[in-house]
Structure 1
Amino acid sequence: MTLNENRSVFICQSGCCCFPGGFSKANRRIIGVYFSGVLFTLAWWIFVDGVITSARMLENPAPPGFEDWASGIVLTLGMIIVHSIDLQSLRSDSDMYSYDSDYSRVWFCRLMMFLGSTMLAGGLVGSVVVLVFKYVLHELSALDSYLGICQVIQCSLILISTLLLWAVPRQTDDYMGIS
């Protein structure tokens, strides 16, 4: 069997062979969710690598502590809160002075969105503060401050993962009744 000019040696001749429907809304969601998961996993992988590397150093002037873990945990909790909120619940046509159950639901959803967003921003700022106060101000070498650098990279990747997961189009799951 010989190859002619019309056939390629590659199975995937177009950029979207894994998605027979092309890049439809559902496929963009799948790609976005998977890529967001890869970023989230990579973030924690980098941080754990920094903790292990820092803990194995013989004379570490700044050993790992809870302050190194806190910002990643806060960002992860913020990510969970932000993505647990129904987007349709954030919008309301009801009067804010009526105090009906619809408005209290909207108010609670907005409060939780604010809390989650604050946790995301606070976690990222906290990682930078730990890097500066624990590693940079003590003028440690790059190897000694490796954990602080990994922590800032971790928090940045978790935030990017959260924003990517927020940006992908949402679809309705008719089986579970979840939107």
Structure 2
Amino acid sequence: MSLPRANYDPRRVCMNPFPNLHLGKYTRSVGVYLAGALFALANWAFLDACILSSHAHGPPDEPDYEAPVHVSFVDWVPGICSLLGYLIINLIDKDRVKGDQGFGDARAVWRARLFLFIGFALMAGGLAGSVTVLVLKYTFNHDYPEAFTYYGYANVCQNILMMLSACVLWLAQSSASEYEYNLTL
């Protein structure tokens, strides 16, 4: 084994531990606000595309012209998957995933890691679904004007920003808080 026996812990899954970020006094607060801003920007981009799609109409000289494509339920599914993954990831106790607090029950650490994997899998599935919708619905064998392909780009943008927001929030919550005290007897 490459690790010295003193550093070996049989409960560890990964060789590298989670990072302990100590970037300043307000790191946690700035990270939480940044994650919230990314989450809001993600949903704003997609809702903007939905509103534009619902008000899409033809040019004034052609009143019978129907818009070639609209945002439908298929466009909402990747965002819903990413939102569920976002919620699962951020509801997990970070200490339980690390296994640091001596939870006694090894199955609890395993379940926490399983749920973390499911959360990231939902987010990755949402991103893959949004790219699939963009390619199949808006670009593949369709020559829609740029105004209509924006709907697909907004969907991909929403999922990417949600993933970034989840990562920023995870790192911010993993950093040391300015109100954290260690009491020992």
What band does the TM-score fall into relative to the shorter chain? 0.7 to 0.9
Code of the residue aligned with 2:44 in structure 1: it is W
User: 1:155: which partner in 2?
Assistant: 159
Q: Which of 165, 171, 177 is matched with 2:177 structurally? A: 171
State the shift of 1:42 in Å. Answer: 0.9
d(CA) in 2 for partners of 1:101, 1:28: 31
Deviating above 2 A after TM superposition, structure 1's stretches of 4 or more consecutive aligned residues are 23-26, 170-174
- Between the aligned partners of 1:160 and 1:90, the Cα distance in structure 2 is 20
Contact persistence 2:25–2:178 (CA under 8 A): no
**Count of aligned pairs between the two proteins:** 147
Q: 1:55 to 1:107 in 2, by over 3 A?
A: same
Corresponding position: 1:146 with 2:150: yes
Q: Does 1:127 align with 2:166?
A: no
* Residues 151/119 of structure 1: CA separation in 2 closer, same or farther (3 Å cut): same
Q: What is the RMSD computed on CA atoms of the aligned residues? A: 2.3
Unaligned runs of 5+ in 1: 1-22, 94-99, 175-179
Which residue type is aligned with residue 151 of structure 1?
Answer: N
Note if contact 2:26-2:178 (Cα within 8 Å) is conserved in structure 1: no
Match of 2:115 among 112, 115, 120: 112
Q: Is the 8 A contact 1:54 1:146 kept in 2?
A: no
Structure 1 residue 171, shift from structure 2 partner: 3.2
For residues 116-157 of structure 1, give each alpha carbon's deviation from its aligned partner in whole angstroms, at most 9, with x where no partner exists.
Answer: 010111111110000000000122221111111111111111
| Aligned mates of 2:148, 2:157 — CA distance in 1 | 16
Deviation, structure 1 residue 26: 4.4
Within 2, Cα distance between the matches of 1:77 and 1:109?
16
Residues 24/113 of structure 1: CA separation in 2 closer, same or farther (3 Å cut):
closer
| Distance across 2 between alignment mates of 1:39 and 1:127 | 18
SS at match of 1:57: coil
Give how far 1:163 is off. Answer: 1.0
Contact 1:39 1:158 in 2 (8 A): yes
Query: 1:45 is matched with which residue?
Result: 44
Give the TM-score of the pair, scaled to structure 1. 0.74
Identity in percent = 38
Match of 1:9 in 2: none
For residue 172 of structure 1, report the CA deviation from its aligned partner: 8.5
Q: Do the aligned residues in 2 keep the contact of 1:39 with 1:157 (CA within 8 Å)?
A: yes
Q: Secondary structure at the match of 1:145?
A: helix
Q: Structure 1 residues 24 and 132 mapped into 2: Cα distance closer, same or farther (>3 Å)?
A: closer
CA deviation profile, 1:41-74 (whole Å, cap 9, x unmatched):
0111111110110111122212211111111111
Helix, strand or coil for the counterpart of 1:144?
Answer: helix
8 Å CA contact retained: 1:40, 1:158: yes
Q: TM-score, normalised by structure 2?
A: 0.72
- 3-state SS of 2:148 partner: coil
